[in-house]
């Protein structure tokens, strides 16, 4: 959870944040399988945030959302646009329209077609949305906004891109988010997504190796990994081979991008997610793919409230990309 104040003009300020572990298998492939356990985790995080936070923005994984850009005639009134969006959506959604939550966002004038506007439609099964709303309510919160994780990460990336040379204008940036069970690779040019891919590798793989090697439970292995309290041979026998396998997967993702698009190079790699801060990972990836690699910190240019500890934030920032992007959405009256 992340709470921001301020705005783009005057600058943002990080008021507070909290990270709370989810019980094992409480969320599987983006689906909430244990509503009560997830609600309890959210409740604990909200309690640690304090300050009477009540309204929240939440997000669905990209795999749970169908998105499509469509062209509509310019100058339509909102009700006319809604009717047309619904009729267009029927072509792309493999469910009955009453089974989904549907929304749309006007992007702007359609490139190369002055009489049309480009509109982004997004749809998800109602139960996916309702599960997240129920989690928030059970934790004493009100979900005001439901976003898509990839869009929220893009919003936070806008802050990160300002830290790259010339704001990475016209350049292709690979945003590589390495979580517990999956690695999401999003290719961005001028802040717009041009390609994305998910690969099944994440920090859980290393946790399982630690548990097996040292006879620990998965929970003990995860704690020892984070605390840095593992035996001397851990780095050589387990961590380094894991970093190499992550670098190989990043290299594969770039190859998939080159073979399925007209592009043949990537200018920068930015690492996000819980694994991004693993010592030496950015160097190992940069060495393998020969692309400048850095670790994402969307809070780098922000002022920090006195309760935020800069050292802790540096370690946590890459995990907070989606939460930061959601906080940027604001709750306008």
The answer to whether residue 227 sits within a structural domain is yes
The answer to whether residue 174 sits within a structural domain is yes
Q: What is the pLDDT at residue 52?
A: 75
pLDDT in tens, 109-153: 888 888 888 888 888 999 899 999 999 999 999 999 999 888 898
Which one, of 186, 242, 238, lies nearest residue 213 by Cα? 238
The answer to whether residue 28 sits within a structural domain is no
Tell which phi-psi region holds residue 167, choosing left (phi > 0), alpha (psi between -120 and 50) or beta: left
Which one, of 188, 125, 193, 145, lies nearest residue 332 by Cα? 145
Phi, psi (5° rounding) for residue 142? Answer: -120, 120
Q: Are 142 and 54 spatial neighbours (Cβ–Cβ below 8 Å)?
A: yes
Low-confidence ranges of the chain (pLDDT < 50): none
The answer to whether residue 173 sits within a structural domain is yes
- Domain count within the chain: 1
Q: What is the pLDDT at residue 39?
A: 93
Helix (H, G, I), strand (E, B) or coil at 270: strand
**Whole-prediction pTM:** 0.87
Structural domain harbouring 187: 165-296
Q: Are 64 and 94 spatial neighbours (Cβ–Cβ below 8 Å)?
A: no
Maximum distance among all Cα pairs of the chain, rounded to whole angstroms: 67
The answer to whether residue 328 sits within a structural domain is no
Q: Quote the DSSP letter at residue 186.
A: E
The answer to whether residue 326 sits within a structural domain is no
Which one, of 166, 170, 174, 185, lies nearest residue 266 by Cα? 174
User: How many residues in the chain?
Assistant: 333
The answer to whether residue 50 sits within a structural domain is no
Which one, of 296, 321, 201, lies nearest residue 253 by Cα? 201
CATH number at residue 292: 3.30.420.40
Q: Are 2 and 323 spatial neighbours (Cβ–Cβ below 8 Å)?
A: yes
pLDDT in tens, 292-311: 999 999 999 899 999 999 99
The answer to whether residue 283 sits within a structural domain is yes
Q: What is the pLDDT at residue 281?
A: 93
């Amino acid at each position: 959870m992340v709470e921001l104040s301020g705005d783009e003009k005057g600058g943002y300020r990080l008021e507070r944040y909290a990270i709370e572990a989810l019980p094992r298998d409480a969320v599987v492939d983006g689906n909430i399988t244990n509503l009560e356990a997830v609600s309890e985790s959210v409740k604990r995080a909200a309690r640690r945030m304090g300050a009477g936070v009540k309204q929240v923005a939440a997000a669905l994984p990209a795999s749970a959302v169908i998105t499509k850009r469509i062209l509509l005639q310019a100058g339509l009134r909102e009700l006319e646009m809604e009717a047309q969006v619904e009729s267009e959506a029927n072509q792309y959604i493999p469910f009955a329209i009453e089974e989904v939550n549907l929304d749309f966002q006007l992007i702007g004038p359609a490139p190369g077609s002055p009489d049309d506007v480009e509109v982004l439609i997004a749809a998800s099964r109602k139960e996916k949305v309702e599960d997240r709303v129920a989690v928030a309510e059970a934790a004493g919160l009100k979900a005001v906004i439901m976003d898509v994780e990839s869009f929220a990460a893009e919003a936070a990336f806008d802050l990160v891109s300002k830290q790259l040379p010339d704001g990475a204008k016209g350049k292709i940036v690979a945003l590589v988010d390495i979580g517990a069970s999956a690695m999401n690779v999003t290719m961005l040019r001028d802040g717009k997504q041009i390609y994305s891919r998910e690969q099944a590798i994440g920090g859980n793989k290393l946790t399982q190796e630690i548990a097996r090697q040292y006879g620990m439970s998965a929970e003990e292995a995860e704690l020892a990994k984070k605390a840095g309290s593992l035996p001397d041979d851990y780095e050589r026998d387990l961590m380094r081979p894991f970093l190499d396998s992550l670098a190989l997967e990043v290299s594969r993702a770039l190859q998939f991008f080159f073979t399925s698009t007209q592009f043949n190079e990537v200018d920068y790699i930015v690492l996000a997610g819980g694994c991004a801060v693993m010592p030496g990972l950015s160097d190992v990836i940069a060495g393998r793919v020969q692309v400048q690699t850095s670790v994402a910190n969307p809070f780098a240019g922000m002022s920090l409230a006195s309760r935020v500890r800069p050292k802790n934030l540096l370690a946590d920032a890459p995990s907070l990309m989606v939460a930061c992007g959601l906080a940027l959405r604001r709750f306008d009256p």
